[in-house]
């Protein structure tokens, strides 16, 4: 439990810090943008994995941990998109060229993830594992869709 709380606090701190600059985020180098978006996805994945372990019955369901994790996911789902600017298709990245060649489809995938993450946060507030399971699956589908279409293996 202690470890989860530290992850949550770190994620929340990072979320708050990044949200303050997300709308007008500027990067001095493409590498900085790549690092930024990777960090956002890393934190989101760590929190999503916590919920996934509960949904799959690998760890006992803890409504507070689930709600805390879902809140971080909701914030983080909005952050990485400003970091897919010009020049960030090269370097240490798994981003596929379709991100830049099919911007409308990429934007649709972003919007879907943001929407599903918001639903996940709302479902987590009910305190009911069954509510969380339904929305978790849809959110996982949004993640998978983006990975299949825009992330190199």
Sequential pLDDT tens for the chain (153 residues): 444 555 555 555 555 454 444 444 689 999 999 999 999 999 999 999 999 999 999 999 999 999 999 999 999 999 999 999 989 999 999 999 999 999 999 999 999 999 999 999 999 999 999 999 999 999 999 999 999 999 998
Write the Ramachandran bin of 25: left for phi over 0, alpha for psi from -120 to 50, otherwise beta: beta
CB-count burial class (<10 Å; 0-12, 13-18, 19+) for 17: exposed
Question: How far apart are the C-alpha atoms of 20 and 8, rounded to whole Å?
Answer: 18
C-alpha atoms less than 13 angstroms from C-alpha of 40 in its C-beta half-sphere = 22
Here the CATH number for the domain that contains residue 141 is 1.20.120.10
| CA nearest to 132, candidates 75, 79, 53, 77 | 53
Domain hosting residue 71, numbered range: 2-150
pLDDT at 20: 43
The number of distinct structural domains making up the chain is 1
pLDDT at 19: 47
């Amino acid at each position: 439990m202690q470890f989860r709380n530290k992850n949550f606090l770190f994620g929340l701190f990072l979320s708050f810090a990044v949200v303050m600059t997300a709308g007008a985020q500027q990067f001095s180098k493409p590498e900085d943008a790549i690092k930024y978006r990777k960090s956002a996805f890393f934190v989101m994945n760590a929190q999503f994995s916590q919920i996934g372990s509960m949904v799959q019955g690998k760890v006992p369901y803890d409504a507070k941990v689930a709600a805390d994790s879902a809140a971080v996911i909701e914030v983080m789902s909005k952050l990485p998109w400003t970091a897919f600017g010009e020049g960030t298709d090269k370097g240490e990245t798994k981003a596929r060229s379709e991100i830049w060649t099919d911007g409308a489809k990429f934007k649709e995938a972003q919007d879907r993830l943001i929407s599903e993450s918001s639903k996940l946060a709302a479902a987590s507030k009910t305190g009911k594992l069954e509510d969380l399971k339904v929305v978790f699956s849809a959110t996982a589908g949004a993640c998978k869709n983006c990975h299949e279409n825009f992330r190199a293996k």
